Amino acid sequence: MADEVILLDFWTSPFGKRVMIALREKGVEFDTREEDLSNKSPLLLKMNPVHKQIPVLIHNGKPICESLVIVQYIDETWGPESPLLPSDPYERARARFWADYVDKKIYWAARSAWVLTGEAQEAANKEFIESLKVLEGELGDKAYFGGERFGYVDVSLIPFSTCFHALETLGNYSIVEECPKVVAWVKQCMQRESVAKSLPDQHKLYDHFVARKKEHQAQ
């Protein structure tokens, strides 16, 4: 019997896109269930009763929560011939460190830059660029963060590239001028079918951000 693989997601979520990319890298067929985050489904509340958040991967009825945990689960469950995490324990630890850095620095700086205004927004934009430059230093001249193979850190970061256009436009700066190697890496990643099929259109995402920002300011 074939595996039943269901992904509970929301189209703007970079965290859900990590899971999509990892599944597609492994060639796993899955069913995506789009959630209404203002009216969460009974299935989501049942499968993630602790955080009540997406993404949730449901594999043969068993839920796995938190995007980086899910990506590691996918890596351990399917396609051992094409691993996302390195086999060497030290390199695997480094990959986990940088993925954690993406969550703690890139995500929060980007979110702050979107939500805040004025000087606070400028500070968040500066923090976002500085954090991206740190990642650019780690990338160096490599094709991917792990070297020649698309892997765990790439999966962790690439979904956030779809918000670059919105952040640049709202913040009035250029990421390609600030971090050219990161932008070149994004273009390379986008040539992968797993990435191109998973990420939302950046202009559609920008329109969504602008609408949500207006709502947030009105409140």
Q: Which residues of the chain have pLDDT under 50?
A: none
Predicted TM-score of the model (pTM)? 0.95
pLDDT at 1: 59
Query: What is the per-residue pLDDT for 137?
Result: 97
Angle made by CA atoms 38, 124, 8, in degrees to the nearest 5: 30
Please report the pLDDT score of residue 170 as a whole number. Answer: 87
The per-residue pLDDT for 214 is 78
Residue 6: strand, helix, or coil? strand
C-alpha dist (Å) from residue 41 to 7, 48, 49, 52, 218: 13, 11, 12, 10, 27
> How many angstroms separate the CA atoms of 128 and 122, rounded?
10
State residue 135's pLDDT score: 98
Give the model confidence (pLDDT) of 28-63 as tens digits: 999 999 999 999 999 999 999 999 999 999 999 999
pLDDT at 14: 97
Spatial CA neighbour of 138 closest among 123, 121, 156, 159: 156
Q: Looking at this protein, which amino acid is placed at residue 131?
A: S
